[in-house]
């Protein structure tokens, strides 16, 4: 049965878990908005050697998928699954990829918004790489690989589709910021590094999420100050995406900062800062990636 002569809109928003969506009997069109989870920030490293030590790479932003469908193409119920927040990596460990958010699988083929890539662990004498941004057809890769069909490689500017790639720890000083997203969550910023001469650097800002509040994650200020999480989207109901978390500050002792959490939904976590104590556990952990969302609008 069609719409009975006056405008009806049914909006169902799923922010966690999985289940079954029920189609309204009067629906003509169904608008899907799916956002995958941001990748986790990589943990920082620690070494007392006189070599450059890099902060953890930021996580890549989760991807966004939209579709407008004829209601008749959907079953009376369709499964959905919402990507949970991605747990940030411990010190000395690379971040993991964010999970996908999905809808369909009964009558409708499955629609997917892919997760962002995890940031690489901080390294000694080698640059660490941010996670790749999610593409339209695949997750962002860990340690820099771009997501399939439009994702950005870690550290690269993201002028195409997909979540933004995470930041790069550099080689003992310089570090790139998390990258902005054209479609999807912003990439997490890189954790602070330590140069050959022992110079410390702060973590970098996270990137902007697409059509979000335009508030990125910002770096921690001072070796004992935690990084600021990425900006949360002002209106997730419109499919806006969160910014990436800021990278953690490096430290000459045990006060290293963790990376900031990615903004909700879909922002990549910031990378953890580096410690010069020589104890891995003193380095900063990576920030959590922002969880996903599934929005179904029937008209």
For the chain, strand residue ranges (E) read: 10-14, 18-22, 29-35, 64-70, 77-81, 101-103, 111-113, 293-298
Residue 276: what pLDDT? 85
Burial class (CB in 10 A: 0-12, 13-18, 19+), 255: middle
Beta strands in 56-152 (DSSP E): 64-70, 77-81, 101-103, 111-113
CA–CA distances in Å: residue 137 to residues 89, 110, 115, 163, 266: 25, 12, 10, 12, 16
More confident residue, 227 or 188: 188
CA dihedral 14, 20, 25, 31 (to 10 degrees): 40
Q: How far is C-alpha 32 from the geometric centre of its chain's CA atoms?
A: 20
pLDDT for 248-298, tens place per residue?
878 877 778 888 888 889 999 999 988 888 888 889 999 999 999 999 999
Q: Which of 73-87, 122-136, 224-238 has the lowest mean pLDDT?
A: 224-238
Residue 246: helix, strand or coil by DSSP?
coil
> Which segment of 1-15, 25-39, 117-131, 135-149 scores lowest on mean pLDDT?
1-15
Mean of pLDDT values over 172-194: 80
* Domains of the chain by residue range: 10-135+149-299
pLDDT number for residue 237: 55
Q: How far apart are CA 53 and CA 151, in angstroms?
A: 28
**Whole-number pLDDT of residue 113:** 97
Could you give the CA distance from residue 292 to residue 38 in angstroms, rounded to a whole number? 8
Share of the chain above pLDDT 90, in %: 45
State the Cα–Cα distance between residues 250 and 223, nearest whole angstrom: 6
Other C-beta atoms within 10 Å of 28: how many? 14
Structure tokens that stand for 104 in this block? 């369909």
Yes or no: say if 97 and 140 are a contact pair by the CB < 8 Å rule.
yes
Residue 114's pLDDT is 96
Pairing mode of beta strands 10-14, 64-70: unpaired
């Amino acid at each position: 049965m069609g719409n009975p002569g006056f405008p009806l809109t049914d909006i169902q928003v799923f922010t966690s878990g999985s289940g079954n969506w029920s189609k309204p009997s009067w629906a003509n069109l169904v608008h899907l908005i799916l956002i995958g989870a941001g990748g986790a920030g990589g943990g920082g490293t620690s070494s007392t050697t006189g070599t450059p030590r890099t902060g953890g790479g930021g996580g890549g932003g989760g991807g966004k998928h939209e579709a407008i469908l004829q209601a008749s193409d959907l079953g009376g119920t369709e499964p959905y699954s919402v990507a949970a927040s991605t747990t940030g990596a411990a010190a000395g460990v690379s971040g993991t990829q964010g999970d996908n958010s999905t809808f369909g699988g009964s009558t409708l083929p499955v629609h997917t918004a892919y997760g962002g890539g995890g940031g690489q662990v901080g390294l000694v004498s080698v640059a660490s790489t941010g996670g790749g941004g999610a593409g339209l057809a695949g997750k962002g890769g860990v340690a820099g690989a771009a997501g399939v069909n439009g994702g950005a490689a870690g550290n690269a500017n993201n002028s195409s589709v997909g979540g933004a790639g995470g930041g790069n720890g550099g080689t003992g000083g310089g570090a790139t910021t998390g990258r902005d997203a054209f479609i999807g969550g912003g990439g997490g910023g890189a954790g602070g590094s330590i140069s050959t001469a022992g110079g410390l650097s702060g973590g970098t800002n996270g990137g902007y999420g697409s059509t979000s509040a335009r508030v990125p994650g910002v770096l921690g200020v001072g070796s004992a100050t935690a990084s600021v999480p990425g900006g949360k989207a002002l209106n997730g109901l419109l499919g806006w995406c969160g910014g990436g978390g800021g990278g953690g500050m490096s430290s000459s002792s045990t006060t290293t900062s963790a990376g900031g959490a990615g903004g909700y939904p879909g922002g990549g976590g910031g990378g953890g800062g580096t410690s010069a104590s020589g104890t891995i556990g003193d380095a900063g952990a990576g920030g959590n990636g922002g969880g996903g969302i599934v929005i179904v609008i029937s008209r």
